[in-house]
Amino acid sequence: MTRRFRRRTIFIVAGVTAAIYIGVSIYAFTNLTLPDLDTLAILFLVLAAVAEIGGKYMFGMQFRHGVLEVGSHLDPKSAMRAALVGAGIARLIPAGGAVTPVAMAWAVRRVAPGTGGAAVRSTILHYSGLLLGTGLAMLWVINRGLYESLQAGAAILAGILIASGGVLMFGTGWLGSVSKRLPARFRDLLGHTAANHPPDLVSQGWMWGRLALEAVALFLVMEAFGISLTPTQAISAFGISQLAGGLPGTPGGIGFTEAGLVGALAAFGYPAGSTVGPILVYRLVSYWIPALTGLVAGGTAFLRAETKP
């Protein structure tokens, strides 16, 4: 009964969330004037979708690398499915980014059991890179003379993000020590952590590759609608929106992510009236397409209750 209830609840949340988002999008597109999309703009949107899926692939390969580090095996196809489920359809559960590693490990439990630790490490590494990259991009933007009315606050925020990202990235050795002190039941659920050493160059490569591709997706969508961002502006706006969307409270960070993007673009001089429509299109590319892809790739298995023999 509990499993059925949870499954039904997830479907209800997903359906209601999608319906609300569709309604808001229709209202926005009806009341906002968007520039006509020419062939080049449509090409930008297609490339943005490709970049977004490419970013999820790199996240899956980062997860796979963590699994291989502890002597387990995970094929690339299963790793990609785990990434799509964890970073897509599972985010419809209103628990923020915390649900991502759980969903990833669950999605590959039959082909690679005991991967919870590697999934936790991959998620932590992703957020550490997000914090570092966002903080560094903000510092660069400030030094370029932008954020003129917010320079002091932005500099403090950038410093906090950089420090937090550094601690998360290079101080996660404590995870391995903590896991050894957990009760046996939780140790079995978590599995190997692969977190007893700083991330190597391979993990770093997959992580930065994912973040770069996803920031490129934002850059391309904005460019398609005539909002020209510099690379550092795109990185900082992307990072701020993703960090805001990772907070618990709404499925997929809906509301928080959009608000973060509106605020970031407003700081660059773009009024909300001209950015809401492009942001909704970006969210279609960055969230809903990967979520639907994840549903096709393995989300149905994630949502389906297991049958006991």
Torsions phi, psi for 201 (to 5 deg): -65, -35
Q: Quick one: pLDDT at residue 209? A: 96
If you search the block for the tokens 């190597």, which residue do you land on?
200
**b/e code 192-219 from CB counts within 10 Å (16+ = b):** bbbbbeebeeebeebbebbbbbbbbbbb
Q: Quick one: pLDDT at residue 198? A: 64
Q: d(Cα 159, Cα 37) in Å, to the nearest integer?
A: 39
The packing angle between helices 201-224 and 39-69, to 10°, is 160
Cα-based torsion angle of the residue sequence 165, 233, 157, 265 in order, rounded to the nearest 10 degrees: -130
Q: d(Cα 147, Cα 199) in Å, to the nearest integer?
A: 33
Tens-digit pLDDT profile for the chain (309 aa)? 334 445 566 667 667 777 777 777 777 667 766 777 789 999 999 999 999 999 999 999 999 998 888 778 899 999 998 898 887 766 666 665 677 888 888 888 888 888 888 888 888 888 899 999 999 988 887 766 555 555 666 778 888 889 888 888 876 555 555 555 555 555 555 555 544 556 788 989 999 999 999 999 999 999 999 999 999 999 999 999 988 877 766 666 778 888 889 988 988 888 887 888 899 899 989 888 887 787 776 655 555 544 334
Q: d(Cα 204, Cα 207) in Å, to the nearest integer?
A: 5
Q: Quick one: pLDDT at residue 288? A: 83
Cα distances (angstroms) measured from residue 120 to each of 55, 76, 100, 127, 175:
18, 18, 8, 11, 9
**Which pair of tokens denotes residue 163?**
């420090």
Cα-based torsion angle of the residue sequence 81, 83, 87, 92 in order, rounded to the nearest 10 degrees: 30
Q: Quick one: pLDDT at residue 214? A: 95
**Which pair of tokens denotes residue 271?**
């009024």
Q: Quick one: pLDDT at residue 90? A: 62
Longest dimension (CA), the chain: 65
Q: Domain limits of the chain?
A: 38-303
